[in-house]
Structures are given as structure tokens and as C-alpha cells.
Amino acid sequence: MTIHATAVALMTASGWRAVLLRGPSGAGKSDLALRLLGRGGWQMIADDRVHLWRSGASLYVAPVERLAGALEARGIGLMDVPFRPLARLGLIADCGEPAERLPDPLSEVVEGVAVPVVTLDARAPSAPDKLRLALCGRDALSRLEP
């Protein structure tokens, strides 16, 4: 299936894992992707339109062919960026105002596969760090529990 989202990937201990950035137009998805690319370690998969499919017990994401390697920088236009052709989905990030300070862990079933979900303000300076923590260090959150 093809969905309206942006996808970036990070090399983790278990291989390349993608984060699917969802939200309405203007929510900051592409801007957050651009900031992630500038931090090192992250690679672009797709901006605006993402192919998503299930293979076995995993979900994978890839760019739509005609948009591969393109990133829209609002106010600048389309930019050519290096991209990764595919990665296994590890996290969904809904770009919007987070509702709770310490939310319960959420997940969403997509094509029969449960995927962790976080909500974050994509424009917040800490958003790239929060995504890395959510993707690679979710168990760190359990240490905050009494």
C-alpha cells in the first residue's frame, strides 16, 4: 500500500529500522527528516509518499519510485538527497502535540503487525533525540516507572 508519510531509517543493533513520520500537511514531517539527516546515522527513505508492505512477521517501507531521493524543504523547494531503498519498520511517530507527559506505550496494528507508536511535536528541538530514544531505547522508559 502507498501512504502519505515520510520515512527515515537508522542503523540499530538489529539492522536498519525505519521510523514512519505521519501527520497532516505542514506538521513538520519533512523538516524533522531534514534535521535527522543532518545529525548523522539517519538516512532518508521517502518523503510524502511511502510504500509499505508486510513480509512474514515484519513491515517494510520503500520510496515511491518517482519521488525517490527527493525531499521537500518548505520555502526552498525539492532537494535531492541520498536515500536508502528499503528498511524494516520499527516505529510510527505521529507528528502533533503530545498529550501526556508520561504516556502509556502505544502500538498500532498495520497489516496484522503491531508497531510501537509515539506522538511528538516534530518542531521541538528535542524531537530528533526523542525519536532515537523511542526507536533504540524504549526500555529506558520502563526505568522511570515506580
pTM for the model: 0.87
CATH number for the domain that contains residue 83: 3.40.50.300
64-75 mean pLDDT: 81
Into how many domains does the chain fold? 1
pLDDT of 52 > 80? The answer is yes
The 3-state secondary structure of the chain, one letter per residue: CEEECEEEEEEECCEEEEEEEECCCCCCHHHHHHHHHHCCCEEEEECCEEEEEEECCEEEEEECHHHCCEEEECCCEEEECCECCCEEEEEEEEECCCCCCCCCCEEEEECCEEEEEEEECCCCCCHHHHHHHHHHCHHHHHCCCC
Domain hosting 18: range is 2-142
For 8-44, the pLDDT digits (tens) are 999 988 899 999 999 988 888 889 999 999 888 899 9
For 100-111, the pLDDT digits (tens) are 777 778 899 999
